[in-house]
Structure 1
Amino acid sequence: MNPRKTARLTGAVLIAAAMAVMHSLPASAASSGGTSATDLSVLQIEAENPGLLAAMKRDLGLDATAASELMATQSAATATENSLRAALGESFGGAYFDAATRKLVVGVTDASKLATVTATGATAKIVAHSAAQLDSTVAQLNAREASAPSTVTGWYADTVTNEIVVTALPGTAEAAKAFAGYNVRVKEEAAPQMFLKGGDAYYIGGSRCSVGFTVRGGYVTAGHCETETGSAQPNNGTWAGSSFPGNDYAWVRTSGVTLEPRVGNVTVRGSSSAATGAQVCKAGSTTGYTCGTVGAKNQTVRYSQGTVTGLTATNVRCAGGDSGGGFITPAGQGQGVVSGGNTATCYFQPLGEILSRYGLSLLTG
Structure 2
Amino acid sequence: MSHKRIPKRKAAIAVGGVAALGAAALLLPQANASQDGGARGGASTARTLKADDANDLAARLSKLLGDAFAGSYYDSANRQLVVNVTDVSGDDNNVVVQAKKAGAEVREVDNSTAELQAAARTLRTKATIPGTAWAVDPRTNKILVTADSTVTGTRWDRLESTVDGLGSGMATVKKSAGTFKTFVSGGDAIFGGGARCSLGFNVTAGDGSPAFLTAGHCGVAAQQWSDAQNGAPIATVDQATFPGNGDFALVKYDDPNTQAPSEVNVGGGQSVQILQAAEATVGQQVFRMGSTTGLHDGQVLGLDATVNYPEGTVTGLIQTDVCAEPGDSGGSLFTQDGSAVGLTSGGSGDCTSGGETFFQPVTTALAATGATLGDAGAGGQQAGGDQAGGDQIGGGQEAGAGAGDGSDGAGAADDPSGADASNGQASGTGQAPGTGHASGTGNAGRSGRSELTDTH
TM-score, shorter chain, exceeding 0.5? yes
- What aligned pairs does 1:32-43 form with structure 2 within 5 A after superposition? none
Structure 2 unaligned runs (5+)? 33-47, 205-209, 227-232, 266-270, 350-354, 377-456
SS at match of 2:51: helix
Q: 2: CA distance between counterparts of 1:79 and 1:185?
A: 29
SS at match of 1:302: strand
Partner of 1:185: 172
SS at match of 2:65: helix
Identify the range of structure 1 (261-270 vs 49-58) with the bigger mean alpha-carbon deviation.
49-58
1:204 aligns with 2:192: yes
Residue 327 of structure 1 and its aligned partner are, at CA, apart by: 0.7
SS at match of 2:276: coil
Structure 1 unaligned runs (5+)? 1-21, 26-39, 65-70
1:221 aligns with 2:214: yes
Residue 41 of structure 1 and its aligned partner are, at CA, apart by: 5.9
Q: Deviations over 1:97-153 (max 9, x none)?
A: 1122221111011322321221122110111223343234323433445xx445x51
**Identical-residue share of aligned pairs (%):** 34
Q: 2: CA distance between counterparts of 1:347 and 1:316?
A: 9
2:309 to 303, 307, 331: 303
RMSD: 3.1
Partner of 2:58: 81
Partner of 1:356: 367
Q: 2: CA distance between counterparts of 1:206 and 1:163?
A: 41
Partner of 2:70: 93
Partner of 1:243: 241
- Checking the alignment, whether the CA contact within 8 Å between 2:224 and 2:234 is kept in structure 1 is no
Which one scores higher on RCO, CA 8 angstroms, separation ≥ 6?
2
Amino acid paired to 1:93: A
Residue 258 of structure 1 and its aligned partner are, at CA, apart by: 1.6
Residues 80 and 322 of structure 1: CA distance in aligned 2, closer, same or farther (over 3 Å): same
1:50 to 3, 7, 15: 15
- Checking the alignment, whether the CA contact within 8 Å between 2:187 and 2:326 is kept in structure 1 is no
Residues 61 and 342 of structure 1: CA distance in aligned 2, closer, same or farther (over 3 Å): farther
TM-score (norm 1): 0.78
Residues 41 and 219 of structure 1: CA distance in aligned 2, closer, same or farther (over 3 Å): closer
Residues 53 and 136 of structure 1: CA distance in aligned 2, closer, same or farther (over 3 Å): farther
The structure whose residues are more often helix, as a share, is 1
Partner of 1:346: 357
2:30 to 59, 62, 66: 62
- Checking the alignment, whether the CA contact within 8 Å between 1:300 and 1:309 is kept in structure 2 is yes
SS at match of 1:276: coil
Amino acid paired to 1:210: S
TM-score (norm 2): 0.63
2:322 to 303, 316, 320: 316
- Checking the alignment, whether the CA contact within 8 Å between 2:224 and 2:235 is kept in structure 1 is no
SS at match of 1:107: strand
Residue 59 of structure 1 and its aligned partner are, at CA, apart by: 8.5
- Checking the alignment, whether the CA contact within 8 Å between 2:186 and 2:292 is kept in structure 1 is no
Aligned residues: 318
Amino acid paired to 1:192: F
Residues 72 and 125 of structure 1: CA distance in aligned 2, closer, same or farther (over 3 Å): closer
Q: 2: CA distance between counterparts of 1:199 and 1:327?
A: 17
Residue 75 of structure 1 and its aligned partner are, at CA, apart by: 2.6
- Checking the alignment, whether the CA contact within 8 Å between 1:194 and 1:323 is kept in structure 2 is yes
Partner of 2:230: none
Amino acid paired to 1:168: A
